[in-house]
Amino acid sequence: MAMKATRGYRSGLVDLRVGEISREIFVNEDIYAEEQERLFARAWLHVGHESQIPKPGDYFVSSMGEESVILCRDRANRIHVFLNSCRHRGMKVCRYDEGSTTVFTCPYHGWSYGTDGRLVGVPYFREAYHSRLDKEKWGLVEVAQLCNYKGSIWATWDPAAPPFAEYLGDFTRYLDLQLDGWDGREGQAEVLGGVQKWLVPCNWKFPSENFSGDTYHNISHRSVDLAGIGPSGASRRDLGERDASRKLHVCIPDRGHQTIHYVLPAGQLPPPAYLNAPIVAEYFRHCEEERQRRRGEEARLIGAPGEIFPNTALLSRQPRTMAVWHPRGPHQTECWRWFFVDREAPSEVKQFLRDYYIRYSGPAGMTEQDDMENWNYAHAASRGTIARRYPYNYDQGRGTAVTDYTYQGLSVPGEVIDLTEVQSSEQPMRNFYRRWAEFMEADDWSQLATWRHQRKAAE
């Protein structure tokens, strides 16, 4: 193994003082195994959306790290997330992607669980177990904490993790842009259709850092821009507001979340979009007005690609999607992408957006295909003995972030780099890997909740 165990993460493999990160953290199997324990077993992870399980008995099989989990709604309408593994011999108790059921039955020996996770059926309970098996003790393993945030379901295996809102910190407003209605009403998003799932031969951190806010790779999408897949038939998106806005990188340093972000000038609405589809154009024009009326100054905030640490990508503007990058070994990632619309949007709007989303994102999406090519080949070309000796460069914009960014009266919390003139920075990636290194080094959440230490020191 090329990595020396004594070298440490922050000081060796992730060296942010010089903006260098070792290729080992992407391709080393021991580091990957350690990630499962130290990162995916402790962080809050996105599991699904409540609109995927609207009725009692509905379930959706998801993943937390490598673990298969069942998101389900029990008969009493409570939402649960369970490890999808029978307590008897470990067989998956649910082998479908989604559906509705009264019980989850293990096909191996027949142990059966209610939608509340309780063990309800044990073959030969009287005869072979002599009625002595304690069924209460052998229910499905449930996550330590679950949070339904505006319809999106998040969970963690770690009982010591802070509550989800605290985990988000100042990043909450960016998740709100994803989940609230375009007109500014809270929690109006619903999942459109099914979840697209596909495999990419790369480490999960390639897409995670890309969606953290890589504006540098736009050259990769030049052909898509030229083809004009955008809603109005030009470029990739209708984002006329970009020309009027300040374009920012925003990082929440103690949480590991980061995003691209646009801020409109005071009093300005985004310019018209979707001009080739009058019904859609009118819907969004109306929504923008309503948003400004409801949110006031906050309506100047325009969402863009971002990442909630460790593996959930947001894209709250165009196309409005979320993705999770599930690790499937050090050299493979299973990408899941959810497509969102306002639940009360007219069906013509939903249909138009469906076509646009699919054209852009997912395994058949032209833009996402560009990204996959990069991640795929970058990973493959980093696995060799010689390649591993040479770190990646993350030097762009190092030392230029500010923590008191304000634009025309609107304050933006976090570490901010204004990209409007400089075009690009790698602050989001440095933020991501700084947090990654903290997770890999910290023994528990008493060390990971660094903001609590700062608060205590201030007191």
Partner 1 sequence: MTGPVNVRDLAPGTSIVLVDGAEAEIVDNPRDGIWLFARYLSSPSDPSLVGQEEMIFAQNVAAVGR
Q: Is 254 left (phi over 0), alpha (psi -120 to 50) or beta?
A: alpha
Buried-state track 71-104, b at ≥16 Cβ within 10 A, e below 16? bbbbeeeebbbbbbbbbbeeebbbeeebeeeeeb
Shortest separation between residue 137's beta carbon and partner 1, angstroms: 18
Residue closer to partner 1, measured from CB, 102 or 218:
102
Shortest CB 69 distance to partner 1, Å: 20
Q: Which of 152, 219, 140, 146 is nearest to 180 (CA)?
A: 152
Q: Which is nearer to partner 1, 111 or 338 (CB)?
A: 111
Nearer Cβ to partner 1 (57/272) = 57
Six-digit token string for 115: 């939608």
Tokens of 24: 């080992």
Nearer to partner 1, 123 or 194 (CB): 123
Cβ closest to partner 1, residue 72 vs residue 251? 72
Nearest distance from residue 80's CB to partner 1, in Å?
Answer: 18
CA–chain centroid gap for 451, Å, is: 22
For the bound state, the minimum distance from the C-beta of residue 141 to partner 1, rounded and expressed in Å, comes to 20
Residue number with CB closer to partner 1 (124 or 390): 124
Q: In angstroms, give the least distance from the CB of 103 to partner 1.
A: 5
CB of residue 56 to partner 1, shortest distance in Å: 14
How far apart are CB 142 and partner 1 at their closest, in Å?
A: 21
Contact predicate 145/155, CB 8 Å: yes
C-beta of 240: minimal distance to partner 1 in Å?
53
The conformation of residue 194, written as its DSSP 8-state character, comes to -
Tokens encoding 164: 């989800």
Listed residue (30, 84, 65) closest to 326, CA to CA:
65
Q: Which residue has the tokens 């590991």?
A: 256
Q: Residue 41's CB: how many other CB atoms inside 10 A?
A: 16
Q: How far is the CB of 92 from partner 1 (least distance, A)?
A: 13
DSSP letters along 348-403, please? HHHHHHHHHHHHHSSTT-HHHHHHHHHHHHHHHTT-STTGGGSPEE--TTTT--BS
Long-range contacts of 219-228 (CB under 8 A, 24+ apart): 220/370, 220/371, 220/373, 220/374, 221/367, 221/370, 223/370, 224/366, 224/367, 224/370, 227/366
Q: Which residues bind partner 1 (CB under 8 A)?
A: 101-103, 105, 107, 110, 112, 120-121, 123-124
**Closest CB to partner 1 among residues 58, 183:** 58
d(CA 363, CA 337): 9
SS (H, E, C) 328-358: CCCCCEEEEEEEEEECCCCHHHHHHHHHHHH
Q: Closer to partner 1 at the Cβ: 107 or 163?
A: 107
Nearer to partner 1 by C-beta: 100 or 400? 100
Residue 442 CB, shortest distance to partner 1, in Å, is 43
**Cβ closest to partner 1, residue 62 vs residue 115:** 115
Other CB atoms closer than 10 Å to residue 357's CB: what's the count?
A: 23
Q: SS3 for 245-258, per residue?
A: CEEEEEEECCCCEE
- Please, what is the minimum distance in Å from the beta carbon of residue 77 to partner 1? 19
Give the integer Cα–Cα distance in Å for 293 and 299. 8
Complex with partner 1: residue 124 or 377, whichever CB lies closer = 124
